[in-house]
Amino acid sequence: MSVLIIADLQDGHLKKSSNSVISYGSAIARQLGSEAYVLVLGTCSDDLSALGNFGASKVYQLDDASLAVIDPKVYTQVIADVVSSTGARVVVFGNNPTAKAVAPGLSAKLGAGLVAGACALPDTSNGFTIKKTVFSGKAFATVSILTEVKIITLQPNSVTIAPVGGIAQVEKLSVSVPATARKVAGVKKTEGEVPLTEADVVVSGGRGMKGPEHWGILLDLAKALKAGTACSRPVGDAHWRPHHEHVGQTGVQIAPNLYFALGISGAIQHLAGVNRSKVIVVINKDPEAPFFKAADYGIVGDLFEVVPRLTAAIEKLHAEK
Amino acid sequence: MKILVCISRTPDTTSRIAFTDNSTRFDETDVQWIINPYDEWYALVRAIEIKEKNPETVLHLVSAGGPELDAILRKALALGGDEAFRIDTDSKDSYTIAAHLAALCHQQQYQLIFTGKEAIDTNNGVLGGMLAELYPAEYVSLATQLELSSDGCTVTREIEGGEETLTCPLPAVISCQKGMAEQRIPNMRGIMGARTKPLHVVTPEAVSPLTSIVQYELPAPKAGVKLVSADQPEELIRLLHEEAKVL
């Protein structure tokens, strides 16, 4: 019996976001009195034994360059083989685009119950139940997984578990990788920006920014915070900012540790995309803006005066560190 | 070409979220129901565009649930589509519904199946991937563009930190998100026409669920916003650093 954690690679390196997923999977393994194994699919030049720091006792690597294309059919087949050879009873993914492509098919293939977007450790005292967000962050559901093998995708920034220290044993796997039926014509990376769904901090602007020519102060703040940048729907629709920055019910849903809303009133559709953020800061000159009700911190004032001073204060804080 | 669009019924975004029966059931009192926005704006409209371009396309719609779904299916038929199916089930388990959909796919032999990227009430986004495994078909998740080609389809989809454009053979299940199409509003001719389009009720074979919802809960209310004076924005940074510990 073991917990199998799927690590994510980007350009041949482990993604930092995998660390918290491994820590989470390892915590489940400790809870069940079993071992945590990590599965790395593809070519990776990092020291995989270092994943022991996050509680993994073993890292399996399938060093096959064709796995750079994430084909759900191929991935589900390969992961299903590893689940059966390692006797894994729980499979853990980060809830990211890879998991969204692969975990559902794996669930159907193995007949293993899946909880997508878990936000807490499971309760294993009586069966196996786990909490996830529903209604776009407006509620939680506790879901019982009824099958022997369980699959969980973990919502980013939802569970924090401290590293436990240790060195993992690394084992190369020789599993045959089926051929893919798809051809990748091109990949376009979001250049130089922090991808929104992975950002720890997000700075977002609304109509209160008054026009695209004023975005400089927002970008400066984002740069000081090493933050991703986002916008409200009206801003995206008016082409002040690119569409992929639109966060909200019908845009991107994010759950950063810190969300800055500059000149956004906080319509319910916008909140549905950001209310899973840990800390929300709202800056708006209208004290009646509904967003203040959902915020943790706020400043009622002119963002054109406030934001540059925030940027300066953050730079000062970094300089002191 | 035969296309299926999977749609679900969700509470309108502005609905009050509350639970009954000891928090085991969603409280439907005064809830305004809509077609799940991803299913309607992106999946259904893209399928309709394909049919408009290739009139010989057969476009079917499907939803899983009780008779309360009929109004939503009629609304979807008013936008476009030839026939609708309602799989008569009260199951909320994604795998069970995917298995029912796979049975319909086997019977009807669809080449292209559209879903929205997730339902805004369950926030699962797993139905399409499960269906693709069971049918079986290619699965393309989080798609933002799709064009048909002689040997299949060309799809752009979201991946970690960017976008990927790929070609794959049919049959394929496509989960759709923003970018795929633009929202439409049904016109009077569509609404009138939808009344007479076939709406079949399918009694599914029994399937064992893989999961069940035990309980719902509402998040603890926020402590309330802590306001910082606009004259001292530096204080906000201090609070975020020392109190909230997020900087």
Bridge partners, B212 (sequence order): A144
Q: Where are the domains of chain B?
A: 2-221
- Per-residue pLDDT at A191: 65
**Residues of chain B contacting residue A263, judged by C-beta atoms under 8 Å apart:** none
User: A297 vs B209: CB contact, 8 Å cut-off?
Assistant: no
Mean pLDDT, to the nearest integer, of A78-89?
Answer: 96
> Does this complex have an ipTM over 0.85?
yes
User: B161 vs A309: CB contact, 8 Å cut-off?
Assistant: no
Does one domain contain both A241 and A121? no
Does residue A187 sit within a domain?
no
Q: Please identify among residues 171-200 of chain B the ones whose CB lies closer than 8 Å to any CB of chain A.
A: 175, 178-179
Residue where a domain terminates, one of A112, A137, A172: A172
Question: How many domains is chain A built from?
Answer: 2
The pLDDT-based confidence of A190 (bands split at 50, 70, 90) is confident
Tokens 């919502």 -> residue: A155
User: A101 vs B141: CB contact, 8 Å cut-off?
Assistant: yes
Q: Is the pLDDT of residue A189 over 90?
A: no
Does residue A182 sit within a domain?
no
- Per-residue pLDDT at B223: 85
**CB contact B141 to A (< 8 Å):** yes
Measured CA to CA, the distance from residue B218 to residue B222 in angstroms comes to: 11
Mean pLDDT, to the nearest integer, of A41-61?
Answer: 97
Does one domain contain both A117 and A200? no
CB neighbours of residue A178 within 10 Å: 15
Mean of pLDDT over chain A: 95
User: B120 vs A251: CB contact, 8 Å cut-off?
Assistant: no
Which residue is closest to B117 within chain A, CA to CA? A100
CATH of the domain at A310: 3.40.50.1220
User: B139 vs A105: CB contact, 8 Å cut-off?
Assistant: yes
**Residues of chain B contacting residue A137, judged by C-beta atoms under 8 Å apart:** 219
CB-CB: which of A97, A117, A294 is closest to B159? A97
Measured CA to CA, the distance from residue A311 to residue A32 in angstroms comes to: 46
More confidently predicted of A75 and A176 = A75
The pLDDT-based confidence of B13 (bands split at 50, 70, 90) is confident
For the domain spanning B2-221, the CATH number is: 3.40.50.620
Bridge partners, A279 (sequence order): A258
Measured CA to CA, the distance from residue A118 to residue B146 in angstroms comes to: 30
Mean pLDDT, to the nearest integer, of A65-88?
Answer: 96
**Chain Cα centroid distance, residue B155:** 18
Residue where a domain terminates, one of A131, A156, A172: A172
Does residue A188 sit within a domain?
no
User: B141 vs A107: CB contact, 8 Å cut-off?
Assistant: no
Measured CA to CA, the distance from residue A144 to residue B30 in angstroms comes to: 29
Gap from B67 CA to chain A (nearest CA, Å) = 22
Best residue in A66, A143, A191, A285 to probe B by mutation, most B CBs within 10 Å? Answer: A143
Does residue A25 sit within a domain?
yes
Identify the domain containing residue A303 by its residue range: 196-320
